Amino acid sequence: MAGVVLAAGMRPCAGAIVVLVFALSQGLFAAGVAATFAMALGTALTTGLIASMAVFAKAVAVRLARGRGDNGRRLIAAIELLAAAFVLVLGMSLLSGVWAGSGVS
């Protein structure tokens, strides 16, 4: 798991690069570095919060389904499938919004 975290963290963030290049062009490199650190902190907090909520929600679902045998496992699988479908629908709606806004059909 640590390797995955390191590999993801080593990839340069396009937003941070844009902020740093803009700050450098305006002679405000220190402000650009501070903004980049603020972006990194915000991303870390958001990702950590979402991951914690996912783990907590799954633990609650497993606790509720405990003792129900195959029905409990099916319930957990159905909840996971619904969550994945929700993420898919959300992503598709965001993509269609981008397409509608750019005039690309």
Local confidence pLDDT in tens for the 105 residues of the chain: 777 777 777 777 888 889 989 999 999 999 999 998 898 888 888 988 988 888 888 888 777 777 677 777 788 788 889 999 999 999 999 988 888 777 655
Looking at residue 61, what is its pLDDT? 76
Q: Is 71 exposed, middle or buried (0-12, 13-18, 19+ CB in 10 A)?
A: exposed
To the question of pTM greater than 0.85 for the whole model, the response is no
Per-residue pLDDT at 103: 61
SS (H, E, C) the chain: CHHHHHHHHHCCCHHHHHHHHHHHHCCCHHHHHHHHHHHHHHHHHHHHHHHHHHHHHHHHHHHHHCCCCHHHHHHHHHHHHHHHHHHHHHHHHHHHHHHHHHCCC
Residues in CB range of 33: below 8 A, 6 or more apart: 20, 23
How many Cα atoms sit within 13 Å of 23 on the Cβ side?
15
